[in-house]
Amino acid sequence: MVDRFAEGARRSIASATIEARRHGVVRSDHLLFVVVRDGAGFSARILRLMGVDLASLASQIQQDWTASPNVAVAGEMAFSPDMKQALAMSLEAATELGHRHVRIEHLLLGIVKTGESRAAELLRHFGVSADSLREAITEQSVGGAKQFQGGDRVRILEGPFKNFPGVVEQFVAEEGRVRVAVPVFGRVTPVDLRWYEVEHTQAS
Can you give the residue ranges of every domain in the chain? 2-144, 153-202
d(CA 73, CA 193): 37
pLDDT along the chain (204 residues), means of 10: 82 94 92 89 88 95 84 77 96 88 92 92 95 90 76 86 90 79 90 84 60
Dihedral of the CA atoms 62, 67, 69, 70 (nearest 10)? 20
Shared fold status for 2-144 and 153-202: no
Neighbours of 110 (CB within 10 A): 27
CATH number of 153-202: 2.30.30.30
pTM for the whole thing? Answer: 0.77
**CATH number of 2-144, picked from 1.10.1780.10, 2.30.30.140, 1.20.1250.20, 3.50.50.60:** 1.10.1780.10
Q: What is the pLDDT of residue 82?
A: 95
Region for 189 from its dihedrals, namely left if φ exceeds 0, alpha if ψ lies in -120 to 50, beta otherwise: beta
Q: What is the pLDDT of residue 203?
A: 47
